[in-house]
Structure 1
Amino acid sequence: MADDCAILIVDDNVDDREFYRRMLARVPEAGYSVREAGNGDEGLALSKQQRPDCILLDYSLPGRNGIGVLEDMLKQDPTANVVMLTGQGSETVAVEVMKAGARDYLTKDALSPQALHWCIQNAIMHGNLEAKLEQKRQSLEIFTRAMAHDLKEPLRTIKSFSKILQVSPTLSDEDRELLDYVLGAADHMEDLIVKVSGFTKLEVSGELELKPVALSTAIERVESNLREQIASSRASISYGDLPDVMGDATLLVQLLQNLVSNAIRYCADRPEVLVSAESDGAICRLALQDNGPGVDPEHREVIFQPFKRLVGRGVEGTGLGLAICRRIVQLHGGAIWCEGKEPVGSTFIVELPLARPAATASTTAPDGQGAKAVSPPPEGSSRLAEVLLVEDSPADVQLLKIKLMQRAKVSFNLHVAANGRDAMRLLQERATADGGPGIDLMLLDINMPIMDGFEVLDALSADTQLKSIPVCILSTSSDEDDMQRAKNLGASAYMIKPPTLQQFREVLDGLDHLDLQRRGDGLVLYAEHSRQTPIMTA
């Protein structure tokens, strides 16, 4: 995998550079060719002269720190694979360098040949995947431009000449009827081109700049845009007070317009659409109910796939409307799904981030983040898992979000407590009426003020209602005594900071009530609705 892999080491310490060289030479399955630079400017020059597969960059360089050099390297080569090397394991530094664009970071005092090899290969693999995604994005952009311009041009010619023929006085009634079919097909083709072009544009979209959007204003815009369809079908659109959400106003109008238009189009009688909303922490749950024929349970996921339709060609449509809706919602970090409505009709549920999240207790995350909106759980008794992180360092909280929730794209409802006492209070508040613990997994730091991790484990084991919560220690300590003590006190597992997806998977392997499932391009952690899982010992 690493045959003839070019490495550039940028470090002002000659001994450190030689140390890395020896480590790479001790990896039997790899062939590394190494170049060295004693400062940032020399490293930039060598990188420009010949692009390395990976750059090992020291955080503390003379004149300026590694962050400044990293920024210059990424300006020179945005695809550079940089691993930052630090003298000590500071989570604050880790957050800083990863936000600046480093693929990963390592502490010098915890290096081993295999750890360095794995980190380099992971950085290179990450870079290769990003390059492939960029190529696909560019291909989609070319396709989108062709859809928007090149394919429309011959279609306009067909429509223009057909309309000239349509008004010809010498055209027979039979030929005029045939020409109407041609014009109808051309109109449908033009609509299809517009929808496919719009869908591919969404597919290549990056992160949106989310701003507060009034849903009531968006619905009013939808009513204005669909006034002819609403009037011709005698449809009624009703809604009450709707909250503001964080989003892109244009895309949210398109989302709501597609849903309302579908509700009108597929209703044989007089369409009725009811739009309502409720808040769930930092999430707005929007519901659009209709009185149409409804969607069978086995088709409620299929309808969000491109070009999947449940009706024949007699009903107009492209089969892309709901696929576009789902992509818009995904770009907002939300979820959309379909439910049945008794006795007839369907309800489409859309989850979006609230513009002004409801106030939370002092034990919740510092940035107010609670649940991350994800696709609904699979059929059965599963639900999104509730995970409690007990951590006094805001930097460590941010690092977990970056490593697991953003980069590894693992979704779960995250709760944060700043110390053991706050954690116990939160657990008591969330304990369910039927005796369930209310939390599916606790990630617990050891060294905290007021009440440390070992004291929390003691308190949990003495509480009959809370002792069933699986606890995984998440600490910078790799001391065998700490690990053994945590095990003796009932910890399920032990992770070394910063958490990685591989470590997280290993923790979950020992917990039957938790299931990590792939959903789209991310992972979702589900939990059983009802569980009585005792604390496990590692």
Structure 2
Amino acid sequence: MHFLIIDDSAADARVLKAMLGQACPEGFEVSFASSGAEALRLLQNHEYDCLFLDYRLEDSADWSVLRRIRELQMDVPIIAISGYGNEQVAVEGLKLGAQDYLVKDALTAETVHRALHNAIEKVTLAKNLLAQQKELRDFAHMAAHDLQAPLRRITQLSEFLQEDLEGSLNEKSTMHLEMIATNATRLQSLVKNLIDYARHGSSETPLREVSLKQVVAAALQNLEVVIKEANAQVTVGEMPSIMGDEVMLNLLFQNLISNAIKFRDKRVPEIRISAIHESSQWTIEIADNGIGIAEKDVDTIFAPFKRLHSQREFEGSGIGLATCRKIVDQHQGKIWAKSKLGEGTTLYVSFPDTVATS
């Protein structure tokens, strides 16, 4: 392993090197920089497994070198070191991108080894996560792009059918044909937003005033077949209007209501959707009488690909609630759950305050 010690005190640098010798008996290589300028030059031309950065250098103010390294988007692990056991200094260094913080007077082989291991592990995990996110975005972009052509074709064919059969269909058949066209159009909007998300990490649609009453109604219409098959009873209270992306909010509520129906036992599914206004925000509650979630698992259900049941028990990809959390985050909101096994689940979604109830 190759380390860079950035410290304008040669004595302190030698002490740290000695500690590294005890912490890394398998061997290592170390380079030194006595100034911020020298450190930045070395970083431009060499790769290091970890940096040990002194808080105060003669040519640099406080954490200026740390700031500059992160501004250059270098993802090397950094352990900040200071001669001051100052909590504020430590917190500032960690906020600016250091993975750990050590005080010179308290250095031991054990603390250096622990800090080194933690710093490298944190950066490695972050790199792996970024790679996985990119892979997922690339897949979403490819899948969404491939859906565009057949959706356009479905829309065209439904229009042709409406023209060809105009006047010859009964009221029910006409309604079904209109629903095909409406849902195909909605899917096209959803696919477009998925492509935007895959390309940019968020929807590119500007937020505007959206009636959640209409959003929930559209979601229920999309789930009409599922609701009838489960004989589910869904009650909806007064809903507010918020600033949002209507297509993404439709997907959010469709996922949440679908989950409430899917994770049920032998009882008739009962879903209650209501809104509460407090502390300058709207909180939407989606409560069900389903199978519930063990308390130890409640905080994990929004993680990507997190499944609490086998595919045989309940079908699904494990990304539905993770998608919901992402949509809520884009609306500057929060999502959480309360549940007990066998007693149903209540999902809460909070949004910033807006206009009137609709």
Aligned to 1:53: 49
Q: C-alpha deviations, 1:358-385, integer Å up to 9, x for none?
A: xxxxxxxxxxxxxxxxxxxxxxxxxxxx
Q: For the residues of structure 2 that align with 1:328 and 1:135, how far apart are their CA atoms? A: 21
CA apart distance, 1:12: 0.8
Identity of aligned residues (%): 25
Aligned to 2:117: 121
Q: In the alignment, residue 275 of structure 1 is paired with which amino acid?
A: S
Matching residue within 8, 12, 20 for 2:8: 12
Q: In the alignment, residue 324 of structure 2 is paired with which amino acid?
A: C
Q: Compute the TM-score of the two structures, normalised by the length of structure 1.
A: 0.45
Q: What is the DSSP-based 3-state SS (H/G/I as helix, E as strand, rest coil) of the residue aligned with 1:140?
A: helix
Q: For the residues of structure 2 that align with 1:39 and 1:285, how far apart are their CA atoms? A: 52
Matching residue within 88, 92, 95 for 2:91: 95
CA apart distance, 1:153: 2.4
1:275 equivalenced with 2:268 (yes/no): no
Aligned to 1:334: 335
Kindly indicate whether the alpha-carbon contact (under 8 Å) linking 1:71 and 1:100 is maintained by their aligned counterparts in 2. yes
Change (3 A) 1:310 1:14: closer
Q: For the residues of structure 1 that align with 2:217 and 2:159, how far apart are their CA atoms? A: 29
Q: C-alpha deviations, 1:155-204, integer Å up to 9, x for none?
A: 545765687689779xxxxxxx9xx99x97xx78x9599479859959x9
1:325 equivalenced with 2:293 (yes/no): no
Kindly indicate whether the alpha-carbon contact (under 8 Å) linking 1:287 and 1:347 is maintained by their aligned counterparts in 2. no
Q: For the residues of structure 2 that align with 1:288 and 1:166, how far apart are their CA atoms? A: 37
CA apart distance, 1:98: 0.6
Q: For the residues of structure 2 that align with 1:54 and 1:220, how far apart are their CA atoms? A: 53
Change (3 A) 1:336 1:48: same
Matching residue within 7, 20, 34 for 1:24: 20
1:295 equivalenced with 2:290 (yes/no): yes
1:69 equivalenced with 2:65 (yes/no): yes
Q: For the residues of structure 1 that align with 2:259 and 2:327, how far apart are their CA atoms? A: 18
Q: For the residues of structure 2 that align with 1:95 and 1:66, how far apart are their CA atoms? A: 13
Q: For the residues of structure 2 that align with 1:121 and 1:263, how far apart are their CA atoms? A: 40
Change (3 A) 1:198 1:337: farther
CA apart distance, 1:70: 0.6
Q: What is the DSSP-based 3-state SS (H/G/I as helix, E as strand, rest coil) of the residue aligned with 2:245?
A: helix
Matching residue within 45, 57, 77 for 1:81: 77
Kindly indicate whether the alpha-carbon contact (under 8 Å) linking 2:286 and 2:347 is maintained by their aligned counterparts in 1. yes
CA apart distance, 1:140: 1.2
Give the unaligned 5+ runs of structure 2: 166-172, 229-233, 263-267, 354-358
Q: In the alignment, residue 335 of structure 2 is paired with which amino acid?
A: G
Of Structure 1 and Structure 2, the greater helix share is in: 2
Q: What is the DSSP-based 3-state SS (H/G/I as helix, E as strand, rest coil) of the residue aligned with 1:287?
A: strand
Query: Residues 96-495 of structure 1: matches in 2 within 5 Å?
Result: 96-154=92-150, 156-157=152-153, 160=156, 191=187, 194=190, 198=194, 201=197, 218-220=211-213, 222=215, 237-239=236-238, 249-250=244-245, 253-254=249-250, 257-258=253-254, 262=258, 274-277=273-276, 286-288=284-286, 294-297=289-292, 324-325=323-324, 328=327, 332-337=333-338, 348-350=346-348, 352=350
Provide the alpha-carbon RMSD of the alignment.
Answer: 5.6
Q: For the residues of structure 2 that align with 1:150 and 1:141, how far apart are their CA atoms? A: 14
Q: For the residues of structure 2 that align with 1:149 and 1:163, how far apart are their CA atoms? A: 22
CA apart distance, 1:133: 0.7
CA apart distance, 1:95: 0.8
CA apart distance, 1:88: 1.7
Q: In the alignment, residue 334 of structure 1 is paired with which amino acid?
A: I
Kindly indicate whether the alpha-carbon contact (under 8 Å) linking 1:195 and 1:320 is maintained by their aligned counterparts in 2. no
Q: For the residues of structure 2 that align with 1:12 and 1:299, how far apart are their CA atoms? A: 54
Q: Say how many residue pairs are matched.
A: 313
Give the unaligned 5+ runs of structure 1: 170-176, 356-538
Change (3 A) 1:348 1:126: same
Aligned to 1:481: none
Q: C-alpha deviations, 1:423-474, integer Å up to 9, x for none?
A: xxxxxxxxxxxxxxxxxxxxxxxxxxxxxxxxxxxxxxxxxxxxxxxxxxxx
Aligned to 1:39: 35
Kindly indicate whether the alpha-carbon contact (under 8 Å) linking 2:78 and 2:98 is maintained by their aligned counterparts in 1. yes
Kindly indicate whether the alpha-carbon contact (under 8 Å) linking 1:10 and 1:57 is maintained by their aligned counterparts in 2. yes
